[in-house]
Amino acid sequence: MSYEFCQEVANDYEKVFESDEEYDVIIYAGENMKELNAHLFVLRTRSLYFRTGFSKKWAEKKDGKFIFKKPNISHEIFEIILRFIYCGKVDLTNLQKYLIKHDHEFLQQQCSVEILETIYQHESFTELWNFCLKKICEEPEILFNSNRFINLSERLLEFILKQDDLNLDEILIWDGLIKWCLAQHLDISRDIKKWDKDEVTILKKTIQRFIPLIRFYDISLEDFKLKVFPYKVLLPVNLINDILTFHSIRKDNVSNKELNIIVLSPRKSKCIYDSILIKPQHFAIFSSWIGKKIDNYNTRNIPYNFNLLYRSSRDGKTAKEFHTKCDNKGATIVIAKVINSEQIVGGHNPLFWNEIHGPVFGSSDLYENNGSSWFSNPSSYPKIDDMPIGKFYVDDYEVFQVIKKS
């Protein structure tokens, strides 16, 4: 008869790790080279990496103890690794908190599909998952523009598309979905006209679970005709008809209830920046310019608050309204969207506006002429590529008060 004492052995090894008794290895970890003590026998027995690391070629010995230096791994992380080697225990709570606190930029920029899938599938990673999901919803372009977006599992893609606060234009979400669906069937042509009945059936089966998650009614009629309608063979006929009906009579103020159309609520960004012209990442870029920072801030570490003072479409397109809301409010940024384009123009005033001036930048380099009419005549600043010259019109413009966070 045999007995297993696995847990008891693990507990004993944990005591050895915590006691530092008879250690013969000193590990210097992190930039500050903080010291950790360990035992050669345990490391070589439990880890192929350390077995190689303490070979004759790598080993450094001083005062009878082996020395191992790892400045590129923090002391906290290395201690977690050692504890796992000794007794197989990992404190996921502290590990998650540490990664979020110290490596949020890495997680934000390197949230690869593989990492997301791993975190999503393990309930233990709740904090990490919530953090990654928040970043995806705030800046979904990081994921949607990734080459590995097409490798998302159906379950994870479905979960992401269900998020009401996904901060991405609905037509771009649709573009991403189509890209993902086609990537699942590389043998099917990208040319819609070449699809046969069997291929249409295959693609319809792939995409059907995601159709109810797309806010089609938030897609402009122009984008719908250009980017959605060509794929009409993949969509329910009644949905196509409802969308066309919705756009054809919405100008008559007929309610959705009267039309008997179910319209999903628009996605609502949790962004604290109240802009209808730009996205959170733009505020991060502007913050970098204001602070003359070489590397851009991310949305997590923006050092300024941007308080909306004025929006022309909301408050009135008159100089009086602008001055009423914006004069003597300190530093501001002005953002204007050029009509019939996605171009944004504007500027930063580090001082304040008064009743005599504004909004104007430089020696008439850029200024509001009259309501929607603006004028540009570069002279004080270097010429900016693609900047409108002379008179042009804007759809809307916003003014934000810039306040340094304390």
Query: What pLDDT sits at residue 194?
Result: 95
Of the two residues 368 and 180, the one the predictor is more confident about is 180
Query: What pLDDT sits at residue 95?
Result: 64
Taking residues 88-100, report their average pLDDT.
65
Taking residues 305-310, report their average pLDDT.
89
In single-letter form, the type of residue at position 142 comes to I
Of the two residues 295 and 148, the one the predictor is more confident about is 148
Residue 291 clears pLDDT 60, i.e. is over it: yes
Taking residues 281-300, report their average pLDDT.
83
111: confidence class by pLDDT, cuts 50, 70, 90: low
Q: What is the 3-state secondary structure (H, E, C) of 19-80?
A: HCCCCCEEEEECCCCEEEEECHHHHHHHCHHHHHHCCCCCCEEECCEEEEEECCCCHHHHHH
142: confidence class by pLDDT, cuts 50, 70, 90: confident
pTM for the full predicted model: 0.53
- Terminal Cα-to-Cα distance of the chain (whole angstroms): 69
Considering only CA atoms, give the Rg of the chain. Answer: 29
Of the two residues 85 and 177, the one the predictor is more confident about is 177
Taking residues 151-162, report their average pLDDT.
94
138 Cβ neighbours under 8 A, 6+ residues apart: 167, 269, 270, 271, 280, 299
Residue 128 clears pLDDT 60, i.e. is over it: yes
Residue 271 clears pLDDT 60, i.e. is over it: no
Query: What pLDDT sits at residue 93?
Result: 62
Query: What pLDDT sits at residue 300?
Result: 65
358: confidence class by pLDDT, cuts 50, 70, 90: low
Residue of 313, 334, 331, 329 lying closest to 396 (CA atoms): 313
Burial class from Cβ neighbours inside 10 Å (0-12, 13-18, 19+) for residue 190 reads: exposed
CB 374 within 8 A of CB 320: no
3: confidence class by pLDDT, cuts 50, 70, 90: very low
pLDDT digits (tens, 9 = 90+) for 159-185: 999 998 888 888 999 999 999 999 999
Q: Within a 10 A sphere around the Cβ of 174, how many other Cβ atoms?
A: 20
Residue 290 clears pLDDT 60, i.e. is over it: yes
Query: What pLDDT sits at residue 312?
Result: 86
Query: What pLDDT sits at residue 181?
Result: 97
Query: What pLDDT sits at residue 29?
Result: 85
pLDDT digits (tens, 9 = 90+) for 243-264: 988 887 755 555 556 667 777 7
pLDDT digits (tens, 9 = 90+) for 313-349: 888 888 888 888 888 889 999 988 888 888 888 888 8
In three-state secondary structure terms, 92 is: helix
pLDDT digits (tens, 9 = 90+) for 4-37: 556 776 677 777 777 777 888 888 888 788 888 8
**Per mean pLDDT, which range of 95-104, 285-294, 296-305 is the poorest?**
95-104
Q: What is the 8-class DSSP label of residue 343?
A: -
CB 221 within 8 A of CB 247: yes
**Per mean pLDDT, which range of 186-195, 271-280, 390-399 is the poorest?**
271-280
Residue 199 clears pLDDT 90, i.e. is over it: yes
- To which residue do tokens 């009086």 refer? 320
Q: Which domains does the chain show, CATH number per domain?
A: 6-90 (3.30.710.10), 139-259 (no CATH), 280-404 (no CATH)
Strands 373-376 and 332-338: unpaired
What is the residue-averaged pLDDT of the chain? 81
pLDDT digits (tens, 9 = 90+) for 383-406: 666 777 888 888 888 999 999 887
